[in-house]
Structure 1
């Protein structure tokens, strides 16, 4: 009898499998990976510079205080701490998902007491006690549960990549904020120098006016410039304090605006090396996370297709129900059962098949997202490489401009102070305007170069050589 039951069960299983397997194979198989095709070499990379490539991108800036600021941000930043907690949350959920392939065991107990009256006769009482242990387990014949576990693993790898991206982004933001604070300090110092020079001009104009009775317009110009310089100084103080607050928040400190930086911006002693491997861009955290999402959606698409196949579940249980509590653990009252079930959805309004089709389309969408992210990554690298070369050239020209503007300002001021014929306050003001603008532009350009170099490391996902993913 048992043998006939087993044969009948397997025959039914084979028939159902054959029917549904043909139905499930009609869906397009998802893609588990996508090969990225980076350029052989970056079009905008420098030529003829085969110097040693830095191991860590922060060391390119030769500023220990910048490194200390980044370390403090890594240790104290609240957003990064939240990202770490979310990563740990994802890890616990991944571990919880592994339980889908393990047996589910349930222990239950019950107790009941009842009393019923019977008119003048003596009332009756009864007790019932039960203790039951049941277990069920889905047999992963089609590896559907394994697919889901692998998808969860890929999701976890994606979360880790995003966390690595958060660390890289925070390091870049802290380094850029440090440079911004120094630039703000330099602009503040320049504002003080400009105010001092305008006050000197005003004193000269006032002296000439008192001595000759001429040049009242020069005095008015001088007072106007001093007032404008004082206003500019106040604006520079506000900008410096705001830059300090931005850095303090990144470092997890109260934004009091009291942080101060050095007076000199970091110096880029080396240019971008030639021959940067284009494949480095593949280590970018956003691309690494996108690759893991491709694999995860492929595995979930496989699992959705396998939902169309029969489900096999083993169940078993044991326990007893007695009227005397003392007999609750007596083995002679034990009853046990073992069963196997084979279930197949015959009709659900197309739900399972449409879910399977949707999961395949989701896989295609993620692949397209990955390709678009890669194109954006290539654009960022090419743009920052091109800007690095252009900004370096601009700095050379701007340094010449600053040098000549300073010479002209000194000469015009000296001529005006000495009362040389043909010199007037307008020449002095124009020379000072050019000098001030040139020096301010140099501060901004040097900071822009540093910001762009940091953006280049951000676009590449790290330094100029390490191909392995950052840990």
Structure 2
């Protein structure tokens, strides 16, 4: 059995120049470490796990290989609903900068640092790392040091000793002191313990991908909330403009009403009431939009881990739409989205749990031993003349356990099938999200263009109605109607711009990041260069 060669192992690279799963998990944490992109905790875990593997045999990686071969997916050669980029390996938050808003980018960065949910997710990663170290402890011998002290007393009655009366009670007292090192070790001849530890390592990697999923989702939520605040602010400005315009119209109609001027076939009183109703509706819209501004600002503060005082996002505005979506292939999505990577790691963990259950049917080999000193006088506790030692071996073959081991194998096999099915469903959901976002991109673009054209036409109609009224060829009812359509179309246009931006965020999230290819990490480049 050859010794472990770390740089030649799939632990260090995925063989295609991309960061390995373990590296991609550990790079998420963003802490300095002996290897770039790894946390101190993760480095310690890896060193310990590699040492354990080399110590026991070194023939099997503790980081389970890709487990997607357990799944069955029919992946189309291209996106049906439209073009999509070639996804890259995460972590990738460059998509936020694609909107060209430095304040938005800075705010999302603040959310990544201060959000309480992310801090909780970070703690869960640390817990998973600790569990991986705990599982690795069984690969090593267990060595305990012990010291014992004992004093005994025993009474003897009726012993036939010369010169001692028969009814005399004799007493004997003794001391016993011991100092020893005790060794216990289960030799992992069949790889059962390594399989159990590999399962925990895969779960540790999955927790890292869960953290990346939470980061991606939270960044999307922050961006959408930012856009919601920007839209609400634009709607507030539009509502104030509407109030001013409707108020001017109301004043003009009131003046005509007070002067007794009537349009042919028209009642100025009804026109005045309609104008007043328009002003009241605009005031209601203003109050609703102002309430939305405060609500969105408070939500931003909650996301950033601050008190919701409603002061956040003062610079929020709706940005211009980023560029068009480049072309790509959907199959690469499986290597990009952290939620799919997490699901795949759980397949790997279930696979190793099944292997552990199967190898539990084989004999367990255990060694025990101790070395130390034992004496009746504590002053002799370190005297080699009083040394004691023992070595023992034990081989235990399960024979009859009421079907527990076989049932556990069946359970683990079902868990593997469950993990594979969940991965397949997650992948199908991911493909659906991309297809839906691509389709919506096309339709929302058409709707935005149509609403912008409607706004231009409504503005032209409003101006024409005013000109006709001033020339005496039009009436105020037409003016009121054109005003309403103008502000309605403008409000819809603002809302549609926000929907289009939200959909682009959804597309970034569905693809797992931006459209730009990621540069390979320093650690990956080094490992690839040194791989034989």
CA distance in structure 1 between the aligned counterparts of 2:155 and 2:315, rounded to whole angstroms: 94
Identify, as 1 or 2, the structure richer in helix: 1
1:382 and 2:417 are equivalent in the alignment: no
Deviation at residue 422 of structure 1 after TM alignment: 4.3
1:84 and 2:117 are equivalent in the alignment: no
Structure 2 contact 300–313 (Cα < 8 Å) conserved: no
399-408 or 116-125: bigger deviation: 116-125
Aligned to 2:256: 208
Structure 1 contact 44–382 (Cα < 8 Å) conserved: yes
TM-score w.r.t. the length of structure 1 is: 0.86
2:362 is paired with a residue of what secondary structure? coil
Q: 1:283-298 counterparts in 2 under 5 A?
A: 283-298=336-351
CA distance in structure 2 between the aligned counterparts of 1:220 and 1:100, rounded to whole angstroms: 84
CA deviation vs aligned residue, 1:110-150 (integer Å, no higher than 9, x gap)? 22335678999897643332223211101111111111122
Aligned to 1:39: 76
Q: 1:431-450 counterparts in 2 under 5 A?
A: 431-450=482-501
446-455 or 146-155: bigger deviation: 146-155
CA distance in structure 2 between the aligned counterparts of 1:179 and 1:410, rounded to whole angstroms: 31
Deviation at residue 315 of structure 1 after TM alignment: 0.7
1:391 to 444, 448, 451: 444
Aligned to 2:414: 361
Deviation at residue 420 of structure 1 after TM alignment: 2.1
125-134 or 54-63: bigger deviation: 54-63
2:68 is paired with a residue of what secondary structure? coil
1:136 to 184, 194, 201: 184
Aligned to 1:423: 475
Aligned to 1:197: 245
CA deviation vs aligned residue, 1:164-203 (integer Å, no higher than 9, x gap)? 1111112211111111111111011111111111111111
1:103 and 2:141 are equivalent in the alignment: yes
CA deviation vs aligned residue, 1:245-297 (integer Å, no higher than 9, x gap)? 11111112211111234474111242112x22323311111111111111111
Number of residues paired by the alignment? 435
Aligned to 1:71: 109
Aligned to 1:147: 195
What is the aligned-residue RMSD (CA, Å)?
A: 2.7
Deviation at residue 452 of structure 1 after TM alignment: 0.4
TM-score w.r.t. the length of structure 2 is: 0.76
1:174 is paired with a residue of what secondary structure? helix
Q: 1:54-453 counterparts in 2 under 5 A?
A: 56-113=94-151, 125-212=173-260, 215-262=268-315, 264-273=317-326, 275-282=327-334, 283-416=336-469, 418=470, 420-424=472-476, 426-453=477-504
Deviation at residue 322 of structure 1 after TM alignment: 2.5
- Which structure 1 segments of 5+ residues have no match? 1-30
Deviation at residue 228 of structure 1 after TM alignment: 2.3
- Which structure 2 segments of 5+ residues have no match? 1-65, 87-91, 157-166, 263-267, 524-532
200-209 or 178-187: bigger deviation: 200-209
